[in-house]
Every structure is written in structure tokens, then in C-alpha cells.
Structure 1
Amino acid sequence: MRRTDRLFDIIQILRDGKLHRAQDIATRLEVSVRTIYRDMDTLTASGVPVEGERGVGYMVREAITLPPLTLTTEELEALNLGMAIVAEAADQALKSAALSLADKIDAVLPTQTVAEADAWKFAVYPFADAARGFTHMAPLRAAIKSRQKLRLVYQRIDGELTDRTIRPLHMEYWGRVWTLTAWCENRNDFRVFRVDLIQEATPLPELFLDEPGKRLEDYVP
């Protein structure tokens, strides 16, 4: 069982408002008690109102829960853009709510890794950074679908601007920050760009075909 599925099952167990021992939950889900303790810590950190402690039991009170949802990429973009806008508002209550909601969403998204993930620390970037990237989503998606080359003006992590011609291949979401995997004509190699650091994305009058060594399936992070 995937961890996200197990966390969801735990929430369903606790929704009845009764006290549940960790041992009983562990037996029901066929995992160790230690695993349940870690899962409870994760749920608490994600904002789920879990009450209780180890050796006593756990319960949830006064929680507003939603049925399972399957979001499209566009729906996830819209949700994050809305949170980005609210998180930059002056209303501290709404700002806190947006941040809490983002943590809950991050906790249940599929977990993936890339070589640069630890250095970039995606999940801690402020919403303002993530919001900037949404202006480029439409042209990037269109270029990926039509296999159209793009000219990027890109701001590196050190602040320097670079000019690239790329073959856009794939976009992914990494906890509030989107990335674009592409073949870079300038570097003659694959590159992963943070979408919020793209300053300009200009379609070029040139399409590209799949070539061995330059396709998404050839990319090894």
C-alpha cells in the first residue's frame, strides 16, 4: 500500500470521532505501530486535527473533510494560483489558511525526486515565486503539444540571465514549483528549468521531431 493511500485510510478510520489505539489501526492496515506513529505525526504536521498521543490513542474532532478528488494538471494549476494570490493578501487569517491548505496538498501529492531537488528546496519557496511561473504555463504547454522550439530568457539561481533555445518536453509539479524538462540546443544536453525563473518564453517558427538521445524517454535525472 502506498503511503498516501494509508494516510487516507487512517483519516477514514478516525472520522467516526471515536478513540482508536495505534495498535488497532496498525493491525487493520497490516503495518507496524511505529509506522502508525510516523503517519500520525505527518497528518498532524499537514494540519489534520488529530488529537491523542502514543500509548493512549487518536481521534479527530470537528474536521471538515472532502471526498477523494482527482485533479487534472490544469485544475491543480488553478488551485495553486488561487492559493498564491490569497497567500500574498494582507488578511493574515486567509494567508495562514492558504499556507495550511498548501501543506495538506503537498502531503498527498505523488512523491518524486530529481537530482536538483535537495538543493532547490522546492517546498519552501514562497507563493510569490510560484505565482510568477503561471504566466508562462499556456505557451509552454502549447509548445510541448505542438513540438515547437522556444527561446527562453532564463534567470539562473545566481541571478544571471541566460538566453536559450530549447525543445520543451515535459512539465512537472514539485510542491508549489513547476519545472520544465527540455533539450537545450545551446548546451547540447537535457536541462530542467524552474518555470518561475523563466523571464520570457517565445515560440520560434521551427518545429522539432523526436530524435534518439533528445527525447524525454532518453532523459536520465
Structure 2
Amino acid sequence: MNRLTRITAILIQLQSKKIVTAKEIAERFEVSLRTVYRDIKTLQNAGVPIGSENGVGYFIVEGDRLPPISLTEEEANSLIISEVFIKKQGDRSLSKNFNSLLIKIKATLKKFQKENIELLSKRTFSFNKGEIIESNWLSDIQKAISSKTQLEITYKSRYKEELTNRQIEPQAVYFTNNVWIVIAFCHLRDDMREFRLDRIIYLNTTLEPFEKLSYFNLQEYFEIF
């Protein structure tokens, strides 16, 4: 992420809640506190009225916020429910993208809506006794499905723990038993295969279009397999 993009994102984050700490910003963008201070100073020099309180954090002075959007209470509440479940599903790329979206939405909410959402986020829980199985490839796979682009992956087998390199054409993804799975045509096996995302060690997006499958129906697939 270049500096201009980061500074713009910091401004949106400041719009999303009443107080944002330098530590929160640093952790989100994986930069040092010194970099955060420099970026905040840049925004202030550009005329953005950012206030600060020692030991508390930064805030946008009232009157310079984005115009609020109109969300019903039920719509705002559904954001929190979605946030809870997405945090529990295990894929870091999806969690990161949803968190970025949530920050942008919060930035345009009215003050009382932000306060209500912050309260609900502290009072909404999901008790999942199963292990959260982490992965980090869902966003890349979704892009490949929509663009019909082949992927190169290194995959670890379930039983022998062997690594194999595969060229796949991803067709669909589903979530079951705390695991994300991609259904894909595998060039190595010359057949449809399912791959657990947590067992993908490496993934590369190619520029090669699908070669084998021009049609795929998820319902028909589940009926057959």
C-alpha cells in the first residue's frame, strides 16, 4: 500500500468512530507509530481538522465528517452479526476485507448509530466449540472464479502430508465443519477435486484462462458427488 492510499484510509478510519488510537492505526496498516504520527501531521497540514487528546487518541472535529448514510437499526445490527461470524470463519483475507468495508460504512454513519454499533459489538458473541481452522486464500480464489483464471497451488495431502504442485480451475467454494473448501478442475488428476484452503501452502494467480471447463453447476455437482 502506497503512502497516499494509506493516508486516505487513515482518514476514513478516523471517520469511523469517535476516538482512534495511534496503536490501532499502526496495527491495521503494519507501520510504526512514528509513521502514524507523520501521516496524521500530513492530514492536519492538508486542512483536515484532526484533534488529539494525550493518552486517548485522535478524532475528527465535529462538522467535518462525511455526510451520513441512512441505515435502519436492523441493517446496522446485521453488520455486527456478520462481523462476528466472519471473524469465526477462519480465512484471514475475508476478515481483512470485511473489516475494511465495515470501517468505510461506519465512517458514514450518524453519531448515535456508531455508538449503538460499538455497544452491540461488545455485547455480541459466538460460542463455537470447534477449532477455528485458519486459511488466507479465499479472496484470491473468489477473484479467480469470477475472472475464470487458473491458479497454481502447492497442496499438502491430508494423510501422507506430501506436497504436490497443482494447476487448478476453481469453480466454487463452500464452508463446512469450520473449513473453507474450493471445488476445482485439477490438471494433475484430470478431474474435479476438492481442496481445503488451510492445506494450500502456496498460491499464485496466473493469467491463463480456464481450458477444461466452460460450464459448471454447483447443484448438479453436489447431487453427483
Q: TM-score if structure 1 supplies the norm length?
A: 0.43
